[in-house]
Chains A and B, each alone.
Chain A
Amino acid sequence: MSSKILKRFSMKYTDKWIFRILLLFNGLILLSACSKQLDKVPETALSDAAFWKTSNDLRDACNNLYTFLPTITDNNDADWSDDGYGTAPSSISDGSRLAPVTSSDWANNYTLIRRCNTILEKSSQIKDDSEQVNRYCGESRFFRAWAYFELVKRFGDVPLILRTFDVDDSLTNAFRTDRETVLDSAYVDLDFAINHLPKASALPQAEYGRITKGAALALKARIGLFEGTWDKFRQLKNVETHLNIAVNASEQIINSGEYTLFIYTPDPDSSYFYLFQNAGDGPENKENMLVRLYGENVNNSIASHNYVRSIWGGSVTPTRSLMDAYGYTDGLPEGKSPYEIPQTSTLSEFQHRDPRMGMTVFSKKDWFINSFYTPTFENTVTGYKSRKYFVSADWTINKSYVDNIIIRYAEVLLIYAEAKYELNDQISDEDLNRSINTIRSRVNMPPLTNAFIIANGLNIRNEIRRERRIELALEGEHRYWDLMRWKTAEIELPQSVLGAKYFPDEQTGITNPQLTADGFVIAQDKSKRNFDPDKDYLWPLPTQDLGLDPNLTQNPKW
């Protein structure tokens, strides 16, 4: 700018070196005056425009979807049902919860849906490998179906969002879509996934954990059974459609021969126990169809959990109700079996019991942390402690790497049996043999046959349900959703939550216990538990979302 003026002054008034400094300033200013200096870009973060280039980018985006899979601590949700109890009452279980302001059950699923939609939309601009592109679209559609099923289970009708949108879009005021439509969309997504995802056997070891065709089929079967029975026990239509989907999808899995129940060769009788130990991890286990991965070990600690300490602290403990559900080794349930005796010690109730009881619940015969288990009420309100996922060796280091099983083959067999039965109100011995009896034989329980049922005056539906409850006990939310779809929550949940029988000379950690007349500890009394059938079969929508989207309506009575 003003170099001429400055030069004039410099001659007149100043020493040359001052003039030089002024010139230098001048130069600096001219250098910086350019408004290009205002173009600053992020130097340590990727921009959206630069990211989506190849199918590898789709894969990396899909990797993020897996972080939405249930974590191992979600198994604590068993305390929503009558199977489990935590350190404090569950407000879902005892009916004391209020409509929340925000809800992660609501918001996180929509976050997952948006990320799926983003990948599906961006995939159209990636042309490098159509097979890979389709595969990751398949994964995204699996997760989208997963999210919608989680939403429908809880909230019933929910807004169906199948594309990304910005804040000025009309979808911000979306209405709730009929649950039937939402689940139809989930079936379509899953069919795409089933067609484009690899079979488990075709999955290279390095990709173990990614969604397979089998996992997509299993989710489809799960949805079919849920919705079919939900409708059936509420006298709604479409019962057969959904149950047929469940039967067909589970049958496809069974017929594919891709999956078998896990057998722990060194100790086959305890296979059910080892399924939930480190021995059950990895692709060699053909039972697990979808797991949340943890890995690898203390020396390569990429993702760890401390679920062992959580169980040890009593975050989910078996209830009396669950214990009573276990049958006896003669295949007969409580009230029918000659093995049933009055309880005389903490150990006596484990005698002649379905072996899965001992593999699910700690008794004195089991190794605990650095000694055999001592029955106690310390860190367990019910006086019981769960064994599933309890890896003794991990207690001290407070880190575990056991994968969390989300869908396993046993569940598919149970879906098959139940869907078959509910579809026809009967089930053949052949179908029982290819499903439930396979599961029972792993734990050396006698097979369930129509003849056995009749001979002992049992109810076939009850026994199918018992089998499901026992096999999947304390594995997260299974039992709770079963009670919801069977419409039996209104009977089971308002009962007192009871724990172990109190033997003062055996158990410590309790003072002035509240006991039933039979001497069982009351974890939560009936008077504090409530279930309103007109209200509690659907969850409350978060009130903030109701405020923000005027077209959303609250579920009845919330």
Chain B
Amino acid sequence: MKRKTLLLLNLSRALCIISMVFFPGLVAVAQQQSIVSGVVRSANDHQPLAGVTVRIKNTSLGATTNTNGRFTLNQTPHTGTLIFTAIGFTTLERQFRGGESLDISMQPSKAGLGEVVVIGYGTQKKVNLTGSVSQVDSKMLENRPVTNALAALQGTASGMVITRNSGQPGEEGYAIQVRGLSSVNGSEPLVLIDGVPKSSSFIAMLNPYDIESISVLKDAAASAIYGARAANGVILVTTKSGKTGKLQVAYNGMFGIQKYINLPGRIHSWKDAEMDNEGRENAGQSDAWSQQQIDWMKDPNTNYIVDPTNPSVYQYYYDFDQLSPVLNNYSTTQNHNLSLQGGTAKDNYFISLGYYDQHGIYKIGPDKTDRLNARLNYNRQLTDKISLNTRIDYSQENTLAPPYPTEGNGGLLYLILTRGSMGPPIYLPGSNNEKYAASSRGLPANTYSVLKEGGKDDSRADNFNAEVSLKAVNLIKGLTLRAIYAPGVAVTQENIIRRTIPYWNITGIADYGYENTSPNSLSKRRGVTLRNNIQLLGDYDFKVGTKQSFHALAGYSFEDYRFDYTLATAKGLSSNDLFSLNLGDPTLATNSDGIQTWALLSYFGRLNYDYDERFLFEADLRYDGSSKLAPHNRWQAFPALSAGWRLSNERWFKNAFPIFDEFKIRGSWGQVGNSEGVIGNYDYIALINEGTVYPFNNQPNKSYYQNVLASPQKTWETIETSNVGVDMALLNNKFSISADYFIKHNKNMLAPLQVSSIIGITTSTYNIASMKSWGWETTLQWKDAIGHNFNYWINFNLSDNQNEIISYNGKNSITAGLNTIIEGKPYNSFYGYVAEGYFQSEEEVEKHAFYSNNDGPGDLKYKDVNGDGKINGGLGRTDDHGDLVYLGNPAPRYTFGFDLGFNWKGIDFSAFLQGVGKRRIFPSPAFLMPFVSRWLHPMDFQTDYWTPENPNAKLPRLYYQGTQNTAASTHWVMNAAYLRLKNLQVGYTIPERITSRAAISKARIYFSGQDLWEISKLWLKIIDPENPNNSAYQYPYFRTFSVGLNLVF
């Protein structure tokens, strides 16, 4: 037929799509016939229901209720039947007449009968789940002044723990863990966004407002369909699709101010000097500072003198505040988001644009991040059986940071926190604030000048993902086929610019601070990551009789990854303002590159069987082949089985326990693999590494060596998981409880085969260990209304898990501090001495078992556990570890999240608390005491130390460069349990009767605060309980106070 007609047809369709995307309202308005409108409410609490699908029976006409529960249908027939459907509510049919205005009340469905949960390669009704799945609603992510969606997810799902290790904008280092550790090698969950495997960093790159829901697949039954990568759980993120109805424009904006928390302060310079002297005297050394020098520090009129032995330098005796010239009291953050959505029965679209930025603690210099997100999700019914689903998203993240590390020893925070007032001032005295002062005592340059003039670390990540899928339904009745192609491109660009900063003494430039002889430099790093994913999926539903229904899924997937980076560095550039590789000294130029690749080919299937909505069975199988393993053991199968029994659908149960609306018990067993970050891409190949060059003939002569033994026998860690759970809903679905208990057994965990260093090479890891972890989770939800205007909810989740190394065929050795793998103990077992207070006298030292020549009054007294008269770690073996005893492990126990809220008329309130019930931490003692190293000066929390007059101090006596108190011991073990108010929101929705005058269907203003308050038992307040990993001079976290506006047009 008529090729022309077809073409025209296609053209007009295309035009139609375009017009509907951009002017959907116009299309609707142009064809107006009759109108039906109304409002839909929940029968439970009479609150308006948003997102209810309203459809005219036997037509393709429909709409969706807006945030006020309102809907309007144009061009309707004059009479007909409306069908109302909503997740969690019983579908309702209602006759209508044209022009009528309806007030609909929908009954909540029994136990959210209709509630659908996203699972691997599909969806499942919640009531029919036999695996363990938590679902996080988009509401938990919205209107929160947080850096990214990961931050907002913290504490929202039982069994999912989210941590961060820095407060530095753009460098927070968020990490997710589901159900604790299942391996010592890495327990990162697999993350998929709209069904496409990505990594957790992609969640951080998403616009939180684009997320529709997040499913956490926790047990093997739920996750085994993802095979070799599923051992640590799977997180499925689904983005929003357009809702049927006319164009809806929404704007969400937020502006916040932030204040850093838990940053220590400085002490007076003279106090520092006195403590320095005391520490040296205790160590039998001469004083570092004379009384006159200390007096100068106290005297505001004597801030510096010319060094009597060297007339070209000043000696500085200031006592000034180093923090305030550098640190902001407050910094800002903002967030703007605009979305457009709508659709017809044939297609729908969701378009969004988001912008986020945050400024850091530094008053001057580069310290900020921002992110831009754009997304287009477009679905189109191509024919009545075939539909196209496209998702395109782009994100851009820009982070500006100082070009030198902020954290750690020698970092920018270190310079102000511990050298601060002892060091030189910012400017050379008498230089009219134009010349930076050089340090007179070998101290590094000051932070102010580095921030102001030192350059920047400018990084940018561009991320482009597309997903095109074609879906054919009912080709044969019950058969659905899907073909998905999802490419992704990520480009990272980082330019590190380090400018020359001259530091002056009296006679001239003394040095150039951090970068001494190559005064300036430029490093450019460019990385491209290419991902490809192809999936072919077939779903088949059929029934046998009326009671038995089956669902079968078969699939194929291929994934390919390639990361390629180039790094080029120029030094000694001819300009200190224009930074280009072209301007560098050619003899100092360096370049390098790196490529990482892997591929994964998989076949998988699933069979569900449902008998009379009472007995549920599921079987899963995945067969994975990976490029990371040697060809002879490349393929492995991962099976899972699960079953559920919906007791509440048994007549006898209903009669006996009518209080329950839903009661299901379920159990599962399965084997899944652990591979994310566990096995290197080429571990099975022996590689030759490039060593340091050696300067024969003043040439950089290359040198090569083998660094690590190859391990061709290596295979996936296989983790066997068993899970039992119960789901209950009662009191008319007001109250629901879900609980799970699980055991994970990592049967062939990879562990370094520890051998004596006489082997002379780093050994690889082998499948030689096994580990068990177990725990439980529970979620309680209460939702009710009082009267018509007040409804409220309380959700609580609590989880716990523990682990133990069952066997380790490698050799066990025990050392003071953290021991990663010891048979019969948890991962990261901490061993140390038992501290029994301080020695109070010389006699006590003499009488006590010997530890160190330096022991004296005011030092920790360690218990002689084995009574041999010496304090030591014995042979470091499990059968002889001297006086070291097991002190616990730093894994958090009893993690919980707690949110509650209410709506009353236009006012809404919600509070979200999150915390850890029990945690032992072991911060590094060398960081807790001043003068352990020469360069560590005291901070304000370190003045409570032992003296004869202060025998019960928090810290031992001062001892210059002494290590007798830095051994791992009970003295330094702390309790990092905490409760933190993560978010508090108070909002007011302006009544629609007012806003509708401005054509606004919803206007809400709110206050939202993040990390507003906490309690913890840490006696050392500089350590944040969320990040107790004891690194020194940590970039602090923020409290955020924000106000925002939600508008829907």
Q: Which residues of A contact B511 (CB under 8 A)?
A: 396, 398
The interface stretch among A106-114, A338-346, A446-454 is A106-114
B676-712, CB under 8 A of A: which get 1 and which 0?
A: 0000011001111101111111111111111001100
Could you give, for residues 291-316 of chain A, a 1 whenever the CB lies within 8 Å of some chain B CB and a 0 otherwise?
A: 00111101111110000010011000
> For the complex, what is the distance from the CA of A513 to the CA of B290, rounded to whole Å?
10
When the two chains form their complex, are residues A293 and B286 in contact, meaning their CB atoms are under 8 A apart?
no
CB 8 Å contact bits of A89-110 with B (1 = contact, 0 = none): 0000011101101100011001
| Residue among B288, B383, B588, B757 making CB contact with A18, cutoff 8 Å | B383
Given A18-B386, A38-B627, A47-B685, verify A514-B696 contact (CB < 8 Å).
Answer: no
> B994 interface residue, CB < 8 Å from A?
no
Tell me the chain B residues, 500-537 only, with Cβ under 8 Å from chain A.
510-511, 516-518, 532, 534, 536
Residues of A contacting B700 in the complex (Cβ-Cβ under 8 angstroms): 302
Partner of B681, one of A40, A60, A115, A298: A40
B598 interfacial contact with A, CB 8 Å: yes
Question: Are A547 and B688 neighbours in the complex by a CB distance under 8 Å?
Answer: no
**Minimum CB–CB distance for B845 against chain A, Å:** 13
Sorting the interface of chain B by its residue count into under 10, 10 to 19, 20 to 34 or 35 or more gives 35 or more
* B656 sits at the interface (CB 8 A): no
The answer to whether A40 touches B761 (Cβ under 8 A) is no
B-contact bits for A109-123, CB 8 A (1 contact / 0 none): 011111101100000
Are B815's CB and A87's CB within 8 A?
Answer: no
Instruction: Name the one of A377, A399, A543 contacting B875, with C-beta atoms under 8 angstroms.
Output: A543
Most buried by B among A17, A87, A111, A171: A111
Q: A545-B757, A548-B813 are in contact. Are A35 and B284 (CB under 8 A)?
A: no
Q: Does A371 sit at the interface, judged by CB under 8 A?
A: yes
- CB-CB contacts below 8 Å: A1-46 with B: 9, 13-15, 17-18, 21-22, 25-26, 28-29, 32-33, 35, 37-46
**Is B26 close to A, CB under 8 A?**
no
The answer to whether A113 and B760 touch across the interface, beta carbons within 8 angstroms, is yes
CB contacts (< 8 Å) of A542 on chain B: these are 757
Interface flag for B308 (CB, 8 Å): yes
Complex partner residue of B703 from A43, A63, A111, CB under 8 angstroms: A63
Contact with A along B375-393 (1 / 0, CB 8 A): 0000000111110000000
Binds A, one of B173-181, B589-597, B1024-1032: B589-597
Could you say which residues of chain B place their CB within 8 Å of the CB of A301?
A: 517-518, 588
- Could you tell me if A398 and B516 are in contact, using CB atoms closer than 8 angstroms? yes
Q: Which of A37, A379, A549 is within 8 Å of B758, CB to CB?
A: A549
Assess whether A298 is in contact with B286, with CB atoms less than 8 Å apart: no
Task: Judge whether B763 and A167 touch: CB under 8 Å.
Answer: yes
Q: Which residue from chain B places its CB closest to the CB of A65 in the assembled complex?
A: B703
- The 0/1 profile, CB within 8 Å of B marked 1, for residues 173-211 of chain A is 010000000000000000000000000000001111110
State which of B631, B760, B874 has its C-beta within 8 Å of the C-beta of A115: B760
Q: Nearest chain A CB to B267's CB is how many angstroms away? A: 20
Q: Which of chain B's residues have a CB closer than 8 A to the CB of A46?
A: 687-688, 704
Does any Cβ of B come within 8 Å of A427's Cβ? Answer: no
Residues of A within 8 A of B874 (CB): 543
Interface residue from A45, A107, A546 paired with B687 (Cβ < 8 Å):
A45
Is A363 on the interface with B (CB-CB < 8 A)? no
Partner of A544, one of B286, B532, B876: B876
- Give B307 Cβ to nearest chain A Cβ, in Å: 9
**CA distance in complex: A362, B631 (Å):** 66
A174 to B483, CA, bound (A): 59
| B864-877 near A? 1/0 per residue, CB < 8 Å | 00000000111111
8 Å CB contacts to B: which residues of A351-398?
370-371, 374, 376-379, 381, 396-398
Judged by a CB distance under 8 angstroms, whether B10 is at the interface is: yes
Interface hit among B208-216, B254-262, B748-756: B748-756
Q: Cβ of B291 < 8 Å from any Cβ of A?
A: yes
CB distance from B817 to the nearest CB of A (A): 9
Stretch of A255-263, A413-421, A472-480, A522-530 that contacts chain B: A522-530
- Which among B284, B382, B812 is the interface contact of A14 at CB below 8 angstroms? B382
A267 interfacial contact with B, CB 8 Å: no
B residues 362-400 near A (Cβ < 8 Å) are: 382-386
| A371 in contact with B310 given A101-B876, A514-B286 (CB within 8 Å) | yes
Q: Counting CB contacts under 8 A, is A254 at the interface?
A: no
A66 to B757, CA, bound (A): 20
Q: Which residue of A lies closest to B815 (CB)?
A: A101
- Of the candidates B588, B755, B816, the one whose C-beta lies within 8 Å of that of A549 is B755
Known pairs A101-B876, A301-B588; A295 contacts B698 (CB<8 A)? yes
Most A CB contacts (10 A, CB to CB) among B593, B599, B701, B758 go to B758
**Is A511 at the interface (CB under 8 A from chain B)?**
yes
Our pick among A26, A45, A94, A161 for the contact of B688 (Cβ within 8 Å) is: A45
A317 and B685 alpha carbons, distance in the complex (Å): 49
Docked pose: A511 CA to B273 CA in angstroms: 12
Q: How many angstroms from the CA of A114 to the CA of B597 in the assembled complex?
A: 30
Q: State in angstroms the CA–CA spacing of A515 and B937 once bound together.
A: 27
In the bound complex, residues from chain A placing their C-beta under 8 Å from that of B705 are: 61, 64, 115, 118
A17 to B10, CA, bound (A): 10
A278: CB under 8 A from chain B?
no
Q: Is B77 an interface residue (CB 8 A)?
A: no
Q: Give the residues in chain B near A552, CB-CB below 8 Å.
A: 756
Contact with A along B843-875 (1 / 0, CB 8 A): 000000000111000000000000000001111
Tell me if A426 counts as interface (CB < 8 A to partner B).
no
Selected contact of A35 from candidates B536, B625, B687, B710, CB within 8 Å: B625
A106 to B133, CA, bound (A): 51
Known A38-B601, A208-B697: A167·B685 in contact at CB below 8 Å: no
Residues of B within 8 A of A102 (CB): 757
Nearest chain B CB to A552's CB is how many angstroms away? 7
Please state if A543 and B873 are interface contacts (CB–CB under 8 Å): yes
With the chains together, A554 CA to B875 CA distance in Å?
Answer: 9
Q: A172 at the A/B interface (Cβ < 8 Å)? A: yes
- CB pair B702–A41 under 8 Å, yes or no, is no
C-alpha spacing A378/B289, complex, angstroms: 10
Contact with B along A481-521 (1 / 0, CB 8 A): 00000000000000000000000000010111110000001
Check A40–B698 contact: CB distance below 8 A: no
Known: A512-B286, A543-B876. A207 touches B697 (CB 8 A): yes
Sample of 18 A–B contacts (CB below 8 Å): A32-B560, A33-B556, A38-B599, A63-B696, A64-B705, A96-B852, A207-B697, A294-B695, A312-B442, A381-B286, A397-B516, A511-B277, A511-B287, A513-B286, A524-B284, A546-B877, A547-B814, A549-B756
Known: A14-B382, A206-B696. 15 other contacts (CB 8 A): A15-B382, A28-B485, A28-B534, A32-B560, A33-B556, A39-B627, A40-B597, A63-B694, A63-B704, A106-B757, A111-B757, A293-B694, A378-B441, A397-B517, A522-B284
Nearest 7 CB-CB pairs, A to B?
A114-B760, A547-B813, A543-B876, A64-B703, A295-B695, A48-B686, A107-B757
